[in-house]
Chain A
Amino acid sequence: MTAAARIVMNEIKGYHNFIKLMMVLVGIGALASLVRFIFGLGVTTNLNDTYPWGLWISFDVVTAVPLAAGAFTIGIVAHVFHIRKLEPLVRPAIVTGFLGYSLVCVGLLLDLGQPQRGINVLRYWNLHSPMFEVSMCVMAYTTVLTLEFLHPVAERFGWHLPLRLLRTLELPFAILAAMISTLHQSTLGTFFLIAVDKLHSLWYNPLLPLQFWLSAIFTGLSIVIFEASLVHKYMGQPDESELLATLTKIIPWIMGVYLCIKLYALAFLTHGPLFDRPVLLALFLAEIGAGVILPMGMFFTRKIKTDKKMQLRAASLVIFGLVLNRFNVSMFGMEQPGQLIYAPSIIESLVTIGIIAAHVLFFVLIAKYFPIFEHHPEATDYTIPDHFHRIEGHESKAGHELRAEG
């Protein structure tokens, strides 16, 4: 036991300082969430009856879910549209999605008053509740992502039968992921349709669910670019900018549709005054200008196909725009004039920082110990699921991979 512990300690000592910092942040976040359970939500957060939802819902749920949309979007592009050369991008995106959704569950449980009763959602169905739908979808999709994530795990440990099964299920899973994601990404927008006289007209319109879905798709693809660029820059992985160029061709069109729908809704489907709150107007313009129009313009240029830096910059802008949009809808736009303004407490912030750090940390660790980048099509025999008798060739291949890993 002590020997095992020593091995683990030595392993950790060898890590980069950045990873150690992430570990510390995760630790602080875990402590902060413990404090929440001991002393209660009222004392540890700045939530109150005026602001029942704060940072944990706005970021950990409403923003984190579209940020984890990379897994299903790249799944559609690579598997359903069968653009096989994009295969190397799929696995890292699935890991990101798996971590993202697992942490959404953590954030949601922290925010619930009665987390131990979470299972009640499965016992008492309320089909009229957007929250019911989202929780069912998040549970289902986290399961799907876990199964998809088992893929590199099975490869790592050489579990042949599960691996063959998972490969057979790759395409059905990609389609199922898209079905479930479409529902809950859009339903997160439906949440705010009930806030008829609360959410400001700049954001409130009946097409909110459609906008949430579209923005999740182009942000999901941008996240794939963002993550692949960073992984290339800081983790010494091969440069995928050629593959990313394919994505840069798809993203701006979805953004264009999104922008048209947004402007249409703004022009014809809103009922209140639009320009009565200067701060909200500024936030709206920042979201649309810097977060949608600017990156869309960048994606439409020819230069972005080859320019790595520009890809990263455009993707970062898209992510900024999405985060601002979700905060505008779920927090800023809900504040009524004359109300005290909500700002998260230290505990709330530490927990959210811990959750973000946990995402980075677990991604780096998983990338370190599991084959998530070596998944290039030339190294993988895709015919295996169709020919179960070919297990001999597969076995030697898995063995080879293990040796390469060791």
Chain B
Amino acid sequence: MSTTSIDFNKTRTFLIDTTKCTGCRGCQVACKQWNQLKAENTHFFSGEGYQNPPAMSEYTFTRIKFKDYQKNGQNEFAFYKEMCMHCNDPACASVCPVGAFRKTAEGPVIYDDKRCIGCRFCMMACPFGVPKYEWSKAFPLVKKCTGCYSRVKNGKEPACATACPTAISYGPRAEMVKEAEKRLKAKPERYFPAIYGKEEAGGTSVLYLTHQPLDELGFKPITKRPLPSYTWQALRFVPGIFLGVGGTLSLVSWFQHRKDRIRKEEEERAAAKADSTKGVNE
């Protein structure tokens, strides 16, 4: 899907300052409520630590990940809100054969479940592992964070951003980037000097500020190039190759058949000649 007409300075963007996150998980609850998602069985220490549910799923679009670490001999927690990154140029939208995903001018990347054929290419393609599948169903669809498009369209903020008491700011992308840079500059000792999402996957509508180095918190190092450009660099040759192969093979076959025809005609002529000379001799 082409996203060239969208002004990425204006797309609504989450700025998530993980240093301000208290781990209350109000966002998780708000998300479940607004999207009417089923509860999941949870277990303490089921996954990598205190976080629950153990992973994002068809029922859980966002969750807070916990990370224990030591600081000055004290045990500390770092939190990281996992959710759809709402890429500027989303891989899911580019690979979907029926164009079920779309980056909206407002910011959220939305999914049309009426079109989806269930091929799961979006799940393969997403560098953040966001789209999840309804594995429990015989005819499953894909589920993912909607960016609360229905709220955003009507001038409201997403449910998680509304519920968050401290860490999430929501607004036009240019402003959010400016705000993040301001915070980095003002308190360099507080932050790891990077804005995750500013350039990742060509820029996303979710920006993170952290205290920990990104990889220690579980942020994947991913390419700065928009992912669709990787497949497009091959796909753009398709019409040319199609016609090129057709043209070349047509020429080759014309040439080969001509050779054959000429050979046959020569043989016939030789045979005719042999016949006529035979007739003269008799």
Which residues of chain A have a CB within 8 Å of any CB of chain B?
A: 37-43, 47-50, 52-53, 76, 79-82, 84, 111-118, 120-121, 123-133, 135, 171, 174-176, 178-179, 182-183, 186-187, 189-191, 193-198, 206, 208-209
**Leading 10 A-B pairs by shortest Cβ distance:** A113-B118, A42-B135, A82-B256, A52-B123, A132-B97, A126-B99, A52-B120, A131-B97, A113-B140, A40-B138
Which of B99, B127, B246 sits near A125, CB closer than 8 Å?
Answer: B99
Q: Is the CB of B98 within 8 A of A120?
A: yes
Q: Is the CB of A41 within 8 A of B140?
A: yes
Q: Is the CB of A128 within 8 A of B120?
A: no
Q: Is the CB of A194 within 8 A of B231?
A: yes
Interface string of B245-280 (1 = CB under 8 A from A): 110011011001101100000000000000000000
User: Considering only CB atoms, which chain B residue lies closest to A197 in the complex?
Assistant: B222
User: Considering only CB atoms, which chain A residue lies closest to B57 in the complex?
Assistant: A49
Among A84, A113, A124, residue most surrounded by chain B Cβ atoms (within 10 Å): A113
Q: Is the CB of A190 within 8 A of B99?
A: no
Q: Is the CB of A112 within 8 A of B96?
A: no
Q: What are 11 A-B contacts defined by CB distance under 8 Å?
A: A42-B135, A43-B136, A49-B57, A52-B133, A81-B256, A113-B142, A120-B115, A126-B98, A128-B231, A194-B94, A195-B124
- Count residues on chain B whose CB falls below 8 Å from chain A CBs: 62
Q: Which of B225-246 contact A (CB under 8 A)?
A: 225, 227-228, 230-235, 238, 241-242, 245-246
Q: Does B141 contact A (CB under 8 A)?
A: yes
Chain A residues, CB < 8 A from B259: 82
Q: Does B213 contact A (CB under 8 A)?
A: no
Q: Is the CB of B238 within 8 A of A133?
A: yes
Q: Given known contacts A126-B97, A194-B227, A208-B234, what 5 new A-B pairs fall within 8 Å (CB)? A: A82-B253, A126-B99, A176-B246, A178-B246, A193-B233
Q: Does B25 contact A (CB under 8 A)?
A: no
Which of B94, B138, B234 sits near A37, CB closer than 8 Å?
Answer: B138
Give the complex CA separation of A268 and B79 in angstroms.
Answer: 40
How far apart are B71's CB and chain A's nearest CB, in angstroms?
A: 26
How far apart are B202's CB and chain A's nearest CB, in angstroms?
A: 11
Q: Which of B85-130 contact A (CB under 8 A)?
A: 91, 94-100, 115-121, 123-125, 127, 129
Chain B residues, CB < 8 A from A39: 138
Give the complex CA separation of A237 and B56 in angstroms.
Answer: 58
Give the complex CA separation of A42 and B59 in angstroms.
Answer: 15
Q: Is the CB of B98 within 8 A of A121?
A: yes
How far apart are A351's CB and chain B's nearest CB, in angstroms?
A: 15
Q: Is the CB of B55 within 8 A of A49?
A: yes
User: Considering only CB atoms, which chain A residue lies closest to B253 in the complex?
Assistant: A80
Q: Does B1 contact A (CB under 8 A)?
A: yes
Q: Which of B138-156 contact A (CB under 8 A)?
A: 138-142
How far apart are B47's CB and chain A's nearest CB, in angstroms?
A: 13
Q: Does B190 contact A (CB under 8 A)?
A: no
Which of B117, B133, B137, B256 sits near A49, CB closer than 8 Å?
Answer: B133
With A40-B137, A131-B119 known to touch, is A52 a contact of B124 (CB < 8 Å)? yes
Chain B residues, CB < 8 A from A113: 116-120, 133-134, 137, 139-142
Q: Does B218 contact A (CB under 8 A)?
A: no
Which residues of chain B have a CB within 8 Å of any CB of chain A?
A: 1-2, 55-57, 91, 94-100, 115-121, 123-125, 127, 129, 132-142, 220-223, 225, 227-228, 230-235, 238, 241-242, 245-246, 249-250, 252-253, 256-257, 259-260
Chain B residues, CB < 8 A from A133: 235, 238
Q: Is the CB of B242 within 8 A of A179?
A: yes
Q: Is the CB of A42 within 8 A of B140?
A: yes
How far apart are B82's CB and chain A's nearest CB, in angstroms?
A: 13
Chain B residues, CB < 8 A from A84: 260
Chain A residues, CB < 8 A from B99: 124-126, 129
Chain A residues, CB < 8 A from B253: 79-82, 171, 174-175
Q: Is the CB of B235 within 8 A of A80?
A: no
Give the complex CA separation of A320 and B69 in angstroms.
Answer: 48
User: Considering only CB atoms, which chain A residue lies closest to B230 in the complex?
Assistant: A193
Q: Is the CB of B98 within 8 A of A206?
A: no
How far apart are A299's CB and chain B's nearest CB, in angstroms?
A: 23
Give the complex CA separation of A178 and B249 in angstroms.
Answer: 8
Which of A124, A183, A208, A209 sits near B242, CB closer than 8 Å?
Answer: A183
Q: Is the CB of B220 within 8 A of A197?
A: yes
Give the complex CA separation of A71 and B136 in angstroms.
Answer: 40
Which of A53, A76, A178 sits near B120, CB closer than 8 Å?
Answer: A53
Give the complex CA separation of A53 and B233 in angstroms.
Answer: 24
Q: Is the CB of A129 within 8 A of B95?
A: yes
User: Considering only CB atoms, which chain B residue lies closest to A120 in the complex?
Assistant: B98
Give the complex CA separation of A125 and B222 in angstroms.
Answer: 29
Give the complex CA separation of A191 and B230 in angstroms.
Answer: 10
Chain B residues, CB < 8 A from A50: 129
Give the complex CA separation of A72 and B178 in angstroms.
Answer: 57
With A40-B140, A41-B135, A128-B228 known to touch, is A194 a contact of B117 (CB < 8 Å)? no
Which of B115, B135, B238 sits near A124, CB closer than 8 Å?
Answer: B115
Give the complex CA separation of A186 and B244 in angstroms.
Answer: 15
How far apart are B15's CB and chain A's nearest CB, in angstroms?
A: 24
User: Considering only CB atoms, which chain A residue lies closest to B121 in the complex?
Assistant: A131
How far apart are A183's CB and chain B's nearest CB, in angstroms?
A: 6
